[in-house]
């Protein structure tokens, strides 16, 4: 339990909205981060993010676009925003570097990815552990992905205080486009995105979940970061799956930035 060198994607806490999901349990998603932004007098939850190592988190570029780094605060190891008594506490970190993808396009949300470097490294503990970055995403289609966050429980709905989780199948981009078309939207969804959701809707990420992780579990039980929550039209509508930034496509960019 003291050797954290090779822990990525592993749960250590034994037990061990999102729309249509359920409350998570403590320590189930130890890479989940609440990305907060200073508003008037306090930091409020704005987006999700995921922990990559002791110095870096990953989120969506649209969450940090034109926000001064000094206005951002990352809260790691959080579970129930309203509870002060949890098995392990949270850690908070200020942001030293915001590296948004140079090709991020706020009009199309293409390249919706940003890396955040902390001022001070975090100490891993059972509720604060990094997720694995995949080398490829072969065989992801049809697999169950898990999406987590403190976003709205339905479109224009309330925000939960307990971290929510939902499972959705990964779908092919061509199918994702044709689903949107049958819903009346002509969306071009290039391979830098990865879609997940059901044809009938009902289960999805929503506003406030953006930037958070979509993970898949490998046969060896470790969790891989397949996507970062980017966009959707409404939340959990039929034929309108959630659209995520496809992390395997950005492996080299991520590794380059993480050298800093
Ligand atoms: N872009 C939204 C945000 O800023 C959420 C995106 C996910 N939407 C969806 N229907 N899957 O939080």
User: The domain containing residue 171 runs over which residues?
Assistant: 144-248
Mean pLDDT of the residues in the chain: 95
pLDDT band at 7 (very low <50, low <70, confident <90, very high): confident
> Percent of the chain scored above 70 by pLDDT?
97
Q: Relative to the CA of 47, which ligand 1 atom is closest?
A: 12
pLDDT tens by residue, 95-117:
999 999 999 999 999 999 999 99
Q: Is 204 a catalytic residue?
A: no
Number of the ligand 1 atom closest to the C-alpha atom of 60: 4
Same domain? 119 vs 187 = no
C-alpha 244 chain-centroid distance: 9
Q: List the single range of 9-18, 25-34, 130-139 with lowest mean pLDDT.
A: 9-18
Statement: the pTM of the whole predicted model exceeds 0.75:
yes
Same domain flag for 237 and 148: yes
Q: What CATH number did the domain enclosing 185 receive? A: 2.40.10.10
Whether 234 is covered by a domain: the verdict is yes
pLDDT in tens, 169-187: 999 999 999 999 999 999 9
Q: Is residue 138 part of a domain?
A: no
| Calpha distance 159→133 (Å, rounded) | 29
From the CB of 235, is ligand 1 less than 6 Å away?
yes
């Amino acid at each position: 339990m003291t050797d954290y060198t090779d822990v990525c994607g592993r749960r250590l806490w034994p037990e061990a909205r999102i729309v249509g999901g359920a409350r998570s349990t403590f320590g189930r998603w130890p890479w989940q981060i609440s990305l907060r932004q200073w508003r008037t007098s306090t930091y409020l939850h704005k987006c999700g993010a995921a922990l990559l190592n002791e110095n870096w988190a990953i989120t969506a570029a649209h969450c940090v676009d034109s926000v001064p780094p000094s206005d951002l605060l990352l809260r790691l190891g959080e579970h129930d925003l309203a509870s002060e008594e949890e098995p392990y506490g949270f850690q908070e970190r200020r942001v030293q570097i915001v590296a948004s993808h140079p090709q991020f396009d706020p009009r199309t949300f293409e390249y919706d990815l940003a890396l955040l470097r902390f001022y001070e490294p975090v100490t891993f503990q059972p509720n604060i552990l990094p997720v694995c970055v995949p080398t490829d995403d072969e065989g992801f289609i049809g697999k169950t992905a898990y999406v987590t966050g403190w976003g709205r429980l339905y479109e224009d709905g309330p925000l939960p205080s307990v971290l929510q989780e939902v499972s959705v199948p990964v779908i092919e981009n061509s199918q994702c486009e044709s689903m949107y078309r049958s819903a009346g939207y002509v969306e071009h969804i290039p391979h830098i995105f990865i879609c997940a959701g059901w044809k009938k809707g009902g289960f999805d990420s929503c506003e406030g979940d953006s930037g958070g992780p979509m993970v898949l579990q490998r046969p060896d039980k470790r969790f891989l970061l397949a996507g970062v929550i980017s966009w959707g039209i409404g939340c959990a509508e039929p034929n309108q799956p959630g659209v995520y930034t496809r992390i395997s496509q950005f492996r080299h960019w991520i590794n380059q930035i993480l050298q800093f």
